[in-house]
Amino acid sequence: MSAISFAIEKRAPLRGARVGILTTPHGVIHTPAFAPVGTKASVKGILPSEVAKLGAEVVLANTYHLYLQPGEQIVKEAGGLAKFMGWSDSSSPLGSGAAKPTITDSGGFQVFSLGAAFGKKISKFDGMRDFVNPSSDKPVIFDEEVASQHGQLAIIDDEGVSFTSHIDGSLHRFTPERSVEIQHALGADIFFAFDECTAPTETYEYQKDAMERTHRWAERSLKAHRQMEYARLRENSGVAKQAIFGIAQGGQFDDLRKLSAKTIAEMGFDGFGLGGSFSKKYGDDSLESALQMLKELPDTMPVHGLGIGEPGDILASIAAGVDLFDCVAPTRLGRHGTIYTKNGLVHLKNEKYRNDFSPLGESGFTHAYVSHLIRSGEMLGATIASMHNLKFILDLVAHARQAILNDTFEEYRADFVNKYYG
RNA sequence: GCGUCGGUGGCAGAGCGGUCAAUUGCAACAGGCUGUAAACCUGUCGCCCAAUGGGCUACGGAGGUUCGAAUCCUCCCCGGCGCA
């Protein structure tokens, strides 16, 4: 018996877009849904009560980071991730309201960010062409100083990954079993199998090896989960408390993606994650082709687009049938002074906003004020911009949901994309 | 008034005879950010041009020494400190 149940309420014609209700031990998630990222049990700069008011029903935290700080046992003692971070129905951050749904990522992304990507100017969406900074034409692929001093902080072998803590340099070992064990302690409603998120620049051979390794790790994660869950079920009157999602990889190669989805689909997970690398720019069909892998996944089960958060990418993914999303972009962009608008990104630090007294979205503040806060390093600026961005993305997904129900999703999508990227 | 230290790009502050249109920080201007090493990172930052090169003007002002001066000398102007 799975810890979750997923009911699909409506499917759009032609494509795979759908509306569902995902019932978890800590409450219901209306899909498609966006999960704000709270890596270290904190959506940076925003109180949980505010995150909820913006429309979020679920947040996603990170296993590796919480393992390092404060340690999974502390979170377990607190009563699990949601309770620990005050993610509850209560309006008071310290209230005793019912805990709300949470997700944890397995640490698989850190295999990439602290491994292949460490010291390099690449992101999981960058291709080779983006290795050149357009404003300088200088190759900036490698921070030699950082790399020569530290090398990579994540070293992969077939059994697992050895991490060097970015905090104090200490050594740590992650295996699929260990990741699951930690995620059981963290107690999120949904968690992911330990995977290897690969760099988008790897060769076919490497992507294939990594994918096969991720498949083996998926099996091991699932097995570990079942063993631990079985022991726990006997103590907890048979009520499953956590669902495990398997992650499909395959990098930039269609055949690997398809194979990966198919392989992961057959293992018996409660849901799926789309992992790894896509191309970056909207209009590029790399994401579209990667989304073809959805056809290999069971139509009745929830799918999470890991780290997908660019508005156009979210809509394209929804169109293909992705149900859940998470992304650091709304909070990171906001904190760094960039906000989403219907007409595209706005850099609040730009000179023209210094005396722009028009309202900034529904924040209740003016562009000029928030621009001033960002410029002067006031924390409140990061908070307001992050909240604005989170609301923008949460609204985008909520509107997409409604549009699917109204049979107007494709129009909604086209209209949004025209304005946003036009 | 005497003595002394100092006046360098928006600010702070390096440089102290050629490798200097001049290190660095801040500010400014712009860009980047997609399962958060990220309240971060990158680029630009005297003027002009047929610009991976060249020209011009610049390190308080005016002279001078030198093949060559932000760097040395003289005088002047301005500021800090000390003594009267």
The one-letter amino acid at A152: Q
Q: Which residues contact A253 (CB under 8 A, 6 or more apart)?
A: A204, A207, A208
Question: What is the distance between the alpha carbons of residues A23 and A25, in angstroms, rounded to a whole number?
Answer: 7
Q: What are phi and psi of A224, to 5 degrees?
A: -60, -40
Residues 202-241 of A with CB under 7 A from strand B: none
Residue A32: is the preceding peptide bond cis (ω within 30°)? yes
Cβ-based contacts (< 7 Å) between A 113-142 and strand B: 113-114, 117-119, 121, 123-126, 133-136, 138, 140
Delimit the CATH 3.20.20.105 region(s) of chain A: 5-327
Query: Under a CB-based contact definition with an 8 Å cutoff, are residues A108 and A192 in contact?
Result: yes
A208: tokens are: 């294939």
- ipTM, 2 dp: 0.90
Using C1' positions and the CA of A377, the closest nucleotide is B39
A290 touches strand B (CB under 7 A): no
* CA-to-CA separations, A225 to A59, A229, A275, in angstroms, rounded: 21, 6, 20
> How far is the C-alpha of A109 from the C-alpha of A323, rounded, in Å?
20
Which residues, 6 or more positions from A337, have their beta carbon under 8 angstroms from its beta carbon? A347, A348, A349, A371, A374, A381, A385
| Residue A63 Cα distances to A70, A113, A132, A188, angstroms | 11, 14, 33, 10
CATH class of A5-327: alpha beta
Q: Where are the alpha helices (DSSP H) in A198-297?
A: 204-235, 254-265, 286-291
Distance CA A281, CA A37 (A): 22
Asked if residue A372 keeps its beta carbon closer than 7 A to nucleic acid strand B, the reply is no
Residue-level pLDDT, tens digit, chain A, 422 residues: 789 999 999 886 555 899 999 999 999 999 999 999 999 999 999 999 999 999 999 999 999 999 999 999 999 999 999 999 999 987 666 656 899 999 999 999 999 999 989 987 777 776 433 332 323 333 333 333 333 334 799 999 999 999 999 999 999 999 999 999 999 999 999 999 999 999 888 899 999 999 999 999 999 999 999 999 888 777 766 677 999 999 999 998 999 999 999 999 999 999 999 998 665 554 556 788 789 999 999 999 999 999 999 999 999 999 999 999 999 999 999 999 999 999 999 999 999 999 999 999 999 999 999 999 999 999 999 999 999 999 999 999 999 999 999 999 999 999 999 999 98
Protein residue at shortest CA distance from C1' of B52:
A137
Nearest nt (C1') to A61 (CA)? B35
- CA separation (Å) from A244 to A75, A189, A198, A241, A421? 19, 9, 21, 10, 36
In the set A89, A105, A255, A415, the catalytic residue is A105
CB atoms closer than 10 angstroms to residue A174: 24
Q: Which residues contact A340 (CB under 8 A, 6 or more apart)?
A: A311, A330, A333, A346, A388, A389, A392, A393
- The answer to whether A400 and A412 are in contact (CB under 8 A) is yes
Residue A153, CB, less than 7 Å from strand B?
yes
Catalytic residue chosen out of the listed positions A195, A270, A326, A356: A326
Question: What crossing angle do the helices spanning A204-235 and A176-186 adopt, rounded to 10°?
Answer: 50
Q: Whole-prediction pTM value?
A: 0.92
The yes-or-no answer on residue A157 being catalytic is: no
Q: What Å value separates CA A337 and C1' B45?
A: 21
Using the structure, give the distance in angstroms from the CA atom of A278 to the C1' atom of B1, rounded to a whole number: 79
| 3-class secondary-structure state, position A244 | strand
Among chain A residues 242 through 281, which have CB within 7 angstroms of nucleic chain B?
247, 273, 275-276, 280-281
CA of A382 to C1' of B27 (A): 20
- Quote the tokens at residue A352: 């023209």
CB of residue A58 closer than 7 A to nucleic acid strand B? no
Under a CB-based contact definition with an 8 Å cutoff, are residues A195 and A218 in contact?
yes
CA A329 / C1′ B41 distance in Å: 15
Q: Is the CB of A335 under 7 A from strand B?
A: yes
The dihedral of CA A103, A316, A309, A93: what is its sign? Answer: negative
CB A186 within 8 A of CB A104: yes
Instruction: Examine the residue annotation and report whether A105 is marked as an active-site residue of this protein.
Output: yes
Using C1' positions and the CA of A197, the closest nucleotide is: B35
